[in-house]
Structure 1
Amino acid sequence: MVVGSDVQEAADSEWRLGTLRVSRMGFGAMRLASAAAFGQGPSRDRAESIAVLRRARELGVTHFDTAAFYFSALRSANELINAAFPDHDDDLVVATKVGPSRNASGEWADPARPDQLRGQVEENLRQLGRDRLDLVYLRVFGSGSVGEHVGALAELQAEGLIGNVGLSNVSTAQLTEASDIAEVVSVQNRFGLDQRTPEALAVLEETTRRQIAFVPYFAMAGTGGERGRPDETNPVVTDIANRHGASPSQIRLAWTLHQGPNVLAIPGTGDIAHLEQNVAAARIHLSREELDSL
């Protein structure tokens, strides 16, 4: 699905998150603390992780996506971001998530109740060294009501602890329910070139109709999910990559950005060379023929 005829021209532009403006090519911090997702591997070198974050900012990235549960035995993604950007650049937007949590041993706990969200917000504030969070996503589990949880975030927003509210892993019905309680500026759902379920497409269409951001996670990883991108097996992707002198992963990122001007990308890496390749993907303009073939 491609929205509009001139989406290609917007592939390296900006979008708004409420009152904020962000680069459409962002950075996801899930693999910043460890090479494996959610810290399931050796901790990365602290100086190298901070260098990656600062290089992303030098390349024009202003949108950083993180969570308090992104940590390894020795590293915390939130605290690495705090260390990399101690001056809290006004143009830099940090989005975080609440709902899930892991204990000190890294084991997952039950999703947070509405009354537990304040503690999670305050923990993100402490780790990021901030008085206010730019954007907080409620990560939803299941198809039930989100009203009480969104209401709890709306209260924290009214107190000034949260700037903007987003949703993650939601249906169109949940987005509608939440929007009656608080202004939702962004939705973060699983979506990608080979992850285009009817439900995912419906949410993308609804966010486009509402003119709010749609931020796919695992957009590059596809079926690999948190395990990361497997070897490329799609011959169409490989062919187009060869035509552009790009990698298959870059074509997948470019395709993501071509799905609409409100679609953002948040690829993550702990390697500066990979980071530079990801950012360069925002400048790949796919033709109508290439988009149709994909």
Structure 2
Amino acid sequence: MIVRTQSTTRPADASGTFALGGDLPVNRLGYGAMQLTGPGVWGEPRDPDEAVRVLRRAVELGVTFIDTADAYGPSVNEQLIRKALHPYADDLVIATKGGVSRPGPDDWRPDGRPEFLRERLELSLRHLGLERVDLYQLHRIDPEVPTAEQLGALAELQREGKIRHIGLSEVTVEQLEEARAHVDVVSVQNLYNLANRSAEDVLDYAEAENIAFIPWFPIATGELARPGGPLDAASRVHGASPAQLALAWLLRRSPVMLPIPGTSSTAHLEENVAAALLRLDDEEFETLTAAG
């Protein structure tokens, strides 16, 4: 059965910690800020005041890892984070991404030109109010630009002290291995959840190499949460929502897993973070694993 750990005013602390790059500890259950923008991940959020409340509440609940990107808005998301949280708590890590241009809503285009990456990193620093980004992730590898040039640009910015650690997003094991020949990669962010485990090989590689695995879209449950389905049944028995069970499963799945569930609602945020208080026993974990 599921065991709830003792309640706390900072439930994210119960998710455990992972040290990015071996020297930057964060609580494993983080927050993805993408939904704090307008429709199509474009423009201002529908409720800017609630967006600020969500960010501040996340930190109050013990979230120490917030994921964003210059392309969210674009730039709107980073500026909102600064408005809500700057000056940042000493233990708060803001991870951002660059390498995608945004001509309009729902339009995402990889751009790995070194000059573009430098431009976007400089803007991220300004918008976030930082002198250095603790984790800067290449949003997508641009197939039109040699990988060595894209990563070389990030390595140069790292040498200049503007990036602490480098991560990747949506890559294969082969791309990850190639990238590690050029830079020290401390994280990888791929689509992964209980219902979609197409990146299982990347997760296994990341775990073997002690690289953080940041699953985006982490609480998609699909048919598993349908009435009478395994997640629905488990949630009824144990008094936890399907989303909470899906997050608890991710945290149990691997010690390098850093889920970043996103929401624009304070109530939904509190529900998500409370998933850190759940512990799946072996039988429950295996049942959900097999169902997915």
TM-score tier, shorter chain, comes to 0.7 to 0.9
Q: What is the percentage of aligned positions where both structures have the same residue?
A: 44
Aligned to 1:160: 161
1:11 touches 1:261 (CA, 8 Å); kept in 2?
no
Q: Deviations over 1:140-167 (max 9, x none)?
A: 2477963221111011000011111001
TM-score normalised by L of structure 1: 0.86
Inter-partner Cα distance in structure 2 for 1:37 and 1:250: 26
Aligned to 1:21: 25
**Alpha-carbon spacing, 1:115–1:143, altered in 2? closer, same or farther (3 Å):** closer
Query: SS in structure 2 opposite 1:265?
Result: coil
**Alpha-carbon spacing, 1:63–1:195, altered in 2? closer, same or farther (3 Å):** same
Inter-partner Cα distance in structure 2 for 1:183 and 1:270: 33
Aligned to 1:275: 269
User: Is 2:232 the counterpart of 1:238?
Assistant: yes
Q: For residue 97 of structure 1, report the CA deviation from its aligned partner.
A: 0.8
**Structure with the higher strand share, 1 or 2:** 2
Q: For residue 108 of structure 1, report the CA deviation from its aligned partner.
A: 3.8
Query: SS in structure 2 opposite 1:277?
Result: helix
Query: SS in structure 1 opposite 2:36?
Result: coil
Q: For residue 221 of structure 1, report the CA deviation from its aligned partner.
A: 2.5
1:89 partner amino acid: A
Aligned to 2:99: 99
Q: Deviations over 1:188-219 (max 9, x none)?
A: 0111111112xx11110110010111010111
Matches within 5 A, 1:45-64: 45-64=47-66
Inter-partner Cα distance in structure 1 for 2:143 and 2:200: 17
**Alpha-carbon spacing, 1:99–1:247, altered in 2? closer, same or farther (3 Å):** same
1:180 partner amino acid: A
Unaligned runs of 5+ in 2: 1-12
Which of 233, 256, 278 is 1:284 aligned to? 278
Paired positions, count = 273
**Alpha-carbon spacing, 1:52–1:248, altered in 2? closer, same or farther (3 Å):** same
2:35 touches 2:262 (CA, 8 Å); kept in 1?
yes
Q: For residue 37 of structure 1, report the CA deviation from its aligned partner.
A: 5.0
Unaligned runs of 5+ in 1: 1-9, 224-229
Query: SS in structure 1 opposite 2:101?
Result: coil
Which of 243, 258, 267 is 1:264 aligned to? 258
Query: SS in structure 2 opposite 1:216?
Result: strand
1:237 touches 1:251 (CA, 8 Å); kept in 2?
yes
Aligned to 1:216: 215
Aligned to 2:147: 146
Inter-partner Cα distance in structure 2 for 1:83 and 1:60: 19
2:40 touches 2:105 (CA, 8 Å); kept in 1?
no
1:238 touches 1:248 (CA, 8 Å); kept in 2?
yes
Aligned to 2:46: 44
Aligned to 2:114: 114
TM-score normalised by L of structure 2: 0.87
Q: Deviations over 1:17-55 (max 9, x none)?
A: 122111111000110123x45138x73222211111111
